[in-house]
Amino acid sequence: MMSLAAGSVFEFANLCAGERVYDLATVSEAGGPVPSSTGLEVSSRPMRDEAFDTLLVGGGVDLPRPSTGLLAWVATRLPEVRRLGAICTGAFVLAQAGLLDGRRATTHWLFARTLQARFPAVRVEEDRIFIVDGPVWTSAGMTAGVDLALAMVEKDLGAEIARSVARKLVMYHRRAGGQTQHSELLDLAPKSDRIQAALTFARRNLRRDLTVEQLAEAAALSPRQFSRAFRAETGQSPAKAVEQLRVEAARLMLEQTRHPVETVAREAGFSDPERMRRAFLRAFGQPPQALRRVARAAA
């Protein structure tokens, strides 16, 4: 059902523009009611050779198993539409139809490596919110489809309409396609309040040295107990976790501000820009300046 939330973006774009810019239609192979994973049924009309400006393929909680008829229909749409997109695991439908070969694409992070393994001709970027490669758009999972739809509205009607739509949908802002799908604090997922307290302390004090002794004190444990408990709960050392938090903080500053790299490195707690550069290469395979260029291009 989350894939269908993208339709609300176009609906509210009509309201904000004061005219009917977009006509919405939901189609399926056979038409009629289509059951969703939530139990609700979605009314649809059958696929036929009608003209679409934009065609979006939705995803689901499991990997799709498209029929031969659906794949054949989707495969013939690309030359006939202005843009063709996929939300979440809908990227697997486009890939199986051969429409992603040689293109950059993304999908839900949980299935990104499966997409790459099944379709090696696709250039999968597993940590992006959405990607635009020519007329083909793909997004990450769930709410990222709303970001993709907002980007389409912004391209069609301008930034002010897109901002107005985001406000009406109670969205803080539209995320740029280059933003990451992940949060390091979510990835660490500590089980105890003590380890969570240490991570919160680290995030609030990234400019400090953040020794094991300091983190252990925040967790009310001895350094030895803390190191053992931290690795057991997060699967990594405190030093590695602190580096990940610094990398995430630095990435956000690079994407959202114009601070020089030297300032970003200092604010995120890196002793110098070279240390930050090496940490970015380990985390993203790219230096800080490259991620900033991607974020600016997406914006």
What tens digit of pLDDT does each residue of 64-82 get?
A: 999 999 999 999 999 999 9
pLDDT given for residue 110 in this prediction: 86
What is the tens place of the pLDDT at every residue in 134-172? 999 999 987 899 999 999 999 999 989 998 998 898 875
How far, in Å, CA of 31 to CA of 73, rounded? 14
CA dihedral 158→25→5→147, nearest 10 degrees, is -30
Tokens encoding 87: 């939300």
Query: What is the pLDDT, as a whole number, of residue 174?
Result: 54
pLDDT the model gives residue 284: 77
pLDDT, position 41: 94
Average model confidence (pLDDT) across the chain: 89
pLDDT at residue 154, rounded to an integer = 93
Per-residue model confidence (pLDDT) at position 101: 97
| 286 — pLDDT class (breaks 50, 70, 90) | confident
Q: Quote the tokens at residue 294.
A: 């991607």
Which ranges in the chain are annotated with CATH 1.10.10.60? 184-298
Among left, alpha and beta (phi > 0; psi -120 to 50; other), residue 110 is alpha
> Domain spanning 2-168 has what CATH number?
3.40.50.880
Q: What is the pLDDT of residue 179?
A: 52
Q: Phi first, then psi: what are they for 124, rounded to 5°?
A: -80, 130
pLDDT of residue 93: 97
What does the pLDDT read at residue 175?
57
- Rounded CA gap, 85 and 131, in Å? 10
Tokens of 155: 């391209």
Report residue 234's pLDDT band, with 50, 70 and 90 as the boundaries. Answer: confident
CA–CA gap between residue 9 and residue 2 (Å, rounded) = 12
Which range, of 6-10, 173-177, 242-246, 275-279, averages the lowest pLDDT? 173-177
Percent of the chain exceeding pLDDT 90 equals 65
Q: What six digits make up the tokens of 170?
A: 């109670």
- Residue 282: the pLDDT is 85
CA atoms of 31 and 22, how far apart (whole Å): 21
Listed in order, the ranges of the chain carrying CATH 3.40.50.880 are: 2-168
Architecture field, domain 184-298: Orthogonal Bundle (1.10)
Range name among 44-53, 168-177, 202-211, 223-232 with the lowest pLDDT average: 168-177
Q: Which range (53-57, 112-116, 187-191) has the least confidence?
A: 187-191
